[in-house]
Amino acid sequence: MKLKLRLNGTPHEMDIAALRPDLELRIDGRGHALRETGTTGALRHARIDGEDITYHQARSGNRAFLHLGGRTWIVEFVDPRDAAREKVQGSGDIRAPMPGVVVSVEKQPGDPVTAGDTILTIESMKLQTNLTAERDGVLAEILKSEGDVFEKGAIVARLQEEEDGDA
Amino acid sequence: MGHDTPPFKRILIANRGEIACRVIDTCRRLGVETVAVHHLSERNARFVRLADASAEITGDTPVAAYLDAEQIIETARETGAEAIHPGYGFLSENSGFARAVEAAGLVFIGPAPDTIDLMGDKIRSRRFAEENGVPVAPSVTGGEDIDAFVEKAASIGFPLLIKASAGGGGKGMSIVEGKQDLLTRARTARSEAERYFGDPTIYAERYVERPRHIEVQVLGDGQGKVLHLFERECSVQRRFQKIIEEAPAGHLDPALRDEICAAAVRLSEAVAYRNAGTVEFILAPDGTFYFLEMNTRLQVEHPVTEMVTGLDLVALQLDIAAGRGLSLDQPDITLTGHALECRVCAEVPEQDFMPATGRILHLDPPTGDNIRFENGLREGTDVTLDFDSMLAKLVVAGPDRPAAIAAAQQALERTVLLGVETNINYLARILAHPAFRDDPLHTGFVAEHEAALAEPDLSPHEAARVLMAAALTFREFRTLAFDAPEPYASIGGWRN
C-alpha cells in the first residue's frame, strides 16, 4: 500500500519494500533504509541510509511537525479518501485558507467570474485577505455571508462545474 | 537604581502573552508583586501562572476584555494594586484610560494623558515636531486652485506622492517623477478624490524611495529631563509590520545617528516626556530624515535596546512612574555590541504571511548568555485568532553586527516550536541573505527579495530524510512497518 505524503506543497509517495532485517522503503521510486535507534528525552534518533539523524517531532491530526537539521518541517499525510473526494469535486471550490470571519461578499451567485476575481474578503488576526476564483466560470453559490465565522479549509463559495460554465 | 525598597508594592499588568511575562520578570527581580488579568480562554497561560495573582476579565471577545478600561481599573482596586502597567497595544496609548487610572487614585505607568493625546494625533504631532525643529516630510495640501497646488508641490521636489486627503487604500494615489506629469496627475487625483471620497482635497508630500525605518528609544522623567538610548532599525517588515529589528542600525553614519537621536530628545523635551517612549523616523538614502510618529509606551522591540545598553527599560519605567526620576545621565548610557530581534509568528510566509492556528505541542527554545526568548507559551497553549499572531521574540546579541547575525541564525536553527506553522525558517533565510548583511536595509526589503527568500527546493535526499522521520509519527505507517503501533502515549498530540 502506498502512503501519500506532502512536504512544502510537493506530493510524495512512500511504500514499504521490506520489513526485515531492516526496514526498506521506496520514496518516489528510490530505495532507502530506515531504523529507529532510540530517544534521549524528547529527542528521537534514527539511522537513515547509514546516516544518524536526530530530531524533535510532534503530530497533530494528519500533520507531522519536525525539527530536523536546524529547520522546522511540516509533513502532511494525505488520506486517500480525501484525495478521491477532491477529484470528484473538481477545482470549483473556494476554500478558506485560514480561520476567520467574512468582511464582505463581492459577488452574487450567477455572476460570471474570471480567474483572480475577488469573491469574498475575509479577516483573520486583523489582516484582510481576498479569496479569489482559481479559474474562469460562473459562481454557483456563496455559503457564507458577512460576519460569518469559519474554520480553515471551509468551503466558502463554489463555482459551477466547468461543463455548465456558459449557463 | 540603588533603591532598597521596590518602586511599588503591587502592580496590575493590563496585558497578556509575552509582554506580561516580560513585565513580571522585572517585577520579581525588584520585589514588586504582580496581578495579571486574563480571559477565561487563557486561564492556564504562562503569564497567569507567573503572576503572583490573576483575575479573570470578561468581554464579548478576549480582546474586548482587555479594552474594558472600567473593568480593569476595578480589578486593580479590588486586588490592591497601586499602579497599572499597560504593556503595548490594547489600552497603552488610550488617554481616556490613563486619565481614569489617575482619577481612581492609581498610577498609570506611562506618560501624562495630554502627551498621549498630542502624539496620538497625526496632524497635531507633526505640527508640534515642526515647531520644535524636528524635520517632517515636506508637504502641501490643496485642490481648489490646482495651479497654486501644482506650483507649491513642485517646490517640494521630486519624486512626489500625491494622494487624497480623505483617502486610503491607494485610491487617488500616485507617484510623480517630474514636473511634466504633475498637473495631469494632480487633476486625476483631484477627480478621484471627489469621486471616491466626496472631497477633492489632495495632498502631496516628498516620496522617499528605499526608506529606512529608524526609531530612537527615549526615557523622560516628566520634569524635563530626557535621555536617549540610541536607535533601532526596523526596516524589515511584512504587511507593514516589523519582523526583524536591531540595535544599533547597521550602515548608519555616526554623525547622522547623533543628529537623529538629538531630534528625538528635542521632541521629547518639548513635552517634558514622562515614561519610556519611541520616536520613529523615516530615513532617506540621501541622509534626510523625517518624523513619523511617537509611540508613548514600551515598544515590542525594546529588548534589543536593553541588550546593547545593559539597561532594564521596565525597571526604569517603574522608577519614573513611582516618582523616583532618572538617576542616569546621558554619558552613563553606552552602546556595547549589536542585538537583533526576530519576531516568531504563527503564519505561512509562502501564502502571503497568512496567520496560522494550532496548538503548541513541543517547545524547546534556545538558551544562552546572549539569547532571550521572550514568550508567553507553554506546551498545550492554543494559538487562536483571538490575539496577534506573534508567538515569541528571539533576541540575540553579539560583539558586532556580523557576529550578532551569525548568533541569531544559530539560535533560530535551535528553536524548536512545533504544532503550528511559523515563520522561523523564513526568518533564517532573511538573516542568511547577503543583502541583509551587506547593504543598507529599506522597508521594501521583503518585497524586493521575495524570490530569493522563497522556500528553496529540496534535494531528493533531504526530502527523503524528512519524509521518513515524519512517517515514523504516523500510526498507519507504524502499523505497516512494525506490525503493531507504538503505544499512543509516545506519539505527540495523538489525541487530536
Q: How far is C-alpha B430 from the chain's CA centre?
A: 18
**Cβ-nearest to B474 among A9, A64, A67:** A64
- Told to judge if B297 belongs to the known catalytic residues of this protein, a careful annotator would answer yes
Flag if A8 and B351 touch (Cβ within 8 Å): no
B339: left (phi over 0), alpha (psi -120 to 50) or beta: beta
Q: Are strands A118-124 and A137-142 parallel, antiparallel or unpaired?
A: unpaired
Residue of B nearest to A31 (CA): B464
> From CA B117, how far away is CA B126, in angstroms rounded?
13
Which of A66, A103, A128, A129 to probe by mutation at the B interface, max B CB count within 10 Å? Answer: A66
Q: Which residues 235-264 of chain B have a CB within 8 Å of chain A?
A: 239
One digit per residue, the tens of pLDDT, for chain B of length 496 reads 567 899 999 999 999 999 999 999 999 999 999 999 999 999 999 999 999 999 999 999 999 999 999 999 999 999 999 999 999 999 999 999 999 999 999 999 999 999 999 999 888 999 999 999 999 998 888 867 899 999 999 999 999 988 887 766 566 678 899 999 999 999 988 888 888 788 888 889 888 999 999 999 999 999 999 999 999 999 999 988 999 999 999 999 999 999 999 999 999 999 999 999 999 999 999 999 999 999 999 999 999 999 999 999 999 999 999 999 999 999 999 999 999 999 999 999 998 899 999 999 999 999 999 999 999 999 999 999 889 999 999 999 999 999 999 999 999 999 999 999 999 999 999 999 999 999 999 999 999 999 999 999 999 999 999 999 999 998 888 888 886 444 443 443 333 3
Widest distance between CA atoms in chain A: 63
Q: Which chain A residue has the Cα nearest residue B360?
A: A58
Q: Cell digits for B349?
A: 510566509
DSSP chain A: --EEEEETTEEEEEEEEE-SSSEEEEETTEEEEEEEEEEETTEEEEEETTEEEEEEEEEETTEEEEEETTEEEEEEEE-HHHHHHHHHHTT-EEE-SS-EEEEEE---TT-EE-TT-EEEEEEETTEEEEEE-SSSEEEEEE---TT-EE-TT-EEEEEPPGGGTT-
Catalytic site residue from B297, B343, B372, B429? B297
Give yes or no for a contact between A159 and A133, defined as CB atoms under 8 angstroms apart.
yes
Predicted TM-score (pTM) of the model is 0.86
Q: Mark yes or no for CB contact A56/B418 under 8 Å.
A: yes
A116: phi then psi, degrees, rounded to nearest 5: 100, -15
Cβ atoms of B312 and B382 closer than 8 Å: no
- In 3D space, the residue among B337, B339, B336, B343 whose CA is nearest the CA of residue B412 turns out to be B343
The reply to whether ipTM tops 0.90 is no
Max CA separation in chain B (angstroms): 84
